[in-house]
Chains A and B, each alone.
Chain A
Amino acid sequence: MHELAIAQSIVEAVEAKAVECNAARVKSVRLKVGEASGIVGDSLAFSFEMLTSMAPVLTGAHLLIDSVPHRALCRRCDSEFAVVNYVALCPTCQEWSSEVVSGTELQIMELEIERNDNHA
């Protein structure tokens, strides 16, 4: 249920950037969300829609989520592998010693905006 708080953080960051860029409207917001970030995409989209309906510059903005797979690097055999259900066991050498290389991301990547005509 913390997707609402996450959505609130996104809206605040996007609103600040929109003001900085003199945007009349934000058409879309692109996120990078890691598989292991603990975020449920549908729930985040629902919260985002609810919050943006109350933020004029963001009303109707699309939320685009690029999911990032959870992957780790084995320290022993140096191969990269997919982490399934958070279990970071190297499938090649059955070693536990690994380092997560992706999947924990929770980032706002870019916005698509419409500028105010008189400032275009």
Chain B
Amino acid sequence: MPKVTLAQNILAVNEHVAQEIRQSLSARGIRALNIMSSPGAGKTTLLERTIERLRGRLGIGVIEGDVETSADAERIEAAGAETVQINTQGTCHLEAHMIRDALAQIDLAHVDLLVIENVGNLVCPAAWDLGEDLRVVVVSTTEGDDKPAKYPQMFAISQVMIVNKLDLLPYVNYDLQKVRRQALSINPNLHIFEVSCQTGEGLEAWCDWLGTFARGV
């Protein structure tokens, strides 16, 4: 029986679209970040606080991925960023073609930084390149301190880990050292920021770092 050789990446179509997005954003001087976490880690709140702090310094556009509702897009728009909502209607992650379609609905003229908020999920989004320049994983002190060990691929493919809800540390059984150790054992190059979106602790350091990243310095 004849055999036919393919030797192609299963996600080749997605990778091709992602590369097109990356090139087209780069040609406009826009840097993109893909922010991922489990549901409820505080991605949207982190994004609100980040936009509020950076909006005078940077033009920020946001693509909000959710399974349903436009609640998050409304919050982000209120914080002062141009926003497009993607509803995946059941799909557990965003794919590059969804970003391409969403970009057609955003006025990129004044955008320096494009933020893609992925669907809350620590597994599936790790496999899909969206054309971003930076991947950020958010964890929080209310989730348990074993997330890096349980979902290692997400931490292996990210460049930044943000530990959120630092203000709740006195009330939860969360070993911050253990999380840092686990995450760095999977990805020794990970940049780690520890923040509280409630008190503002740590946000300045994160926003300064992101501002520098967005300007490509």
A interface residues (Cβ-Cβ under 8 A, vs B): 1-2, 5-6, 9-10, 12-14, 17, 21, 23, 27, 31, 36-39, 85-89, 96-97, 106-115
Chain B residue nearest in CB terms to A25: B1
Since A6-B10, A106-B10, A106-B127 are in contact, a sample of 13 more A-B pairs with Cβ atoms closer than 8 Å, ordered by chain A residue number, is: A2-B128, A9-B11, A9-B13, A9-B14, A14-B6, A23-B4, A89-B185, A96-B184, A106-B9, A109-B7, A110-B6, A112-B3, A113-B4
Contact between A5 and B1, CB atoms less than 8 A apart: no
Min C-beta distance of B181 to chain A, whole Å: 11
Cα A6 to Cα B123 with chains together (Å):
13
The answer to whether A113 and B1 touch (CB under 8 A), given A37-B127, A86-B152, A89-B185, is: yes
Min C-beta distance of A20 to chain B, whole Å: 9
Contact between B186 and A38, CB atoms less than 8 A apart: no
Min C-beta distance of B138 to chain A, whole Å: 19
Min C-beta distance of A63 to chain B, whole Å: 12
Min C-beta distance of B174 to chain A, whole Å: 21
Cα A2 to Cα B91 with chains together (Å):
8
Cα A17 to Cα B3 with chains together (Å):
12
Q: Residue B27 at the A interface, CB < 8 A?
A: no
Contact between B10 and A86, CB atoms less than 8 A apart: no
**Chain B interface, >50% SS class:** mixed
Interface size class of B (residues with CB under 8 A): 20 to 34
Closest 7 CB pairs of A and B: A86-B152, A2-B124, A96-B188, A38-B153, A108-B6, A86-B186, A111-B4
**Chain A interface, >50% SS class:** mixed
What A residues does B156 contact at CB under 8 A? 36, 86
Chain A residue nearest in CB terms to B1: A112
Chain B residue nearest in CB terms to A37: B127
Contact between A113 and B13, CB atoms less than 8 A apart: no
Which of A38, A85, A96 contacts B126, CB < 8 Å?
A38
What B residues does A17 contact at CB under 8 A? 4, 6
Cα A96 to Cα B184 with chains together (Å):
9
What A residues does B95 contact at CB under 8 A? 5
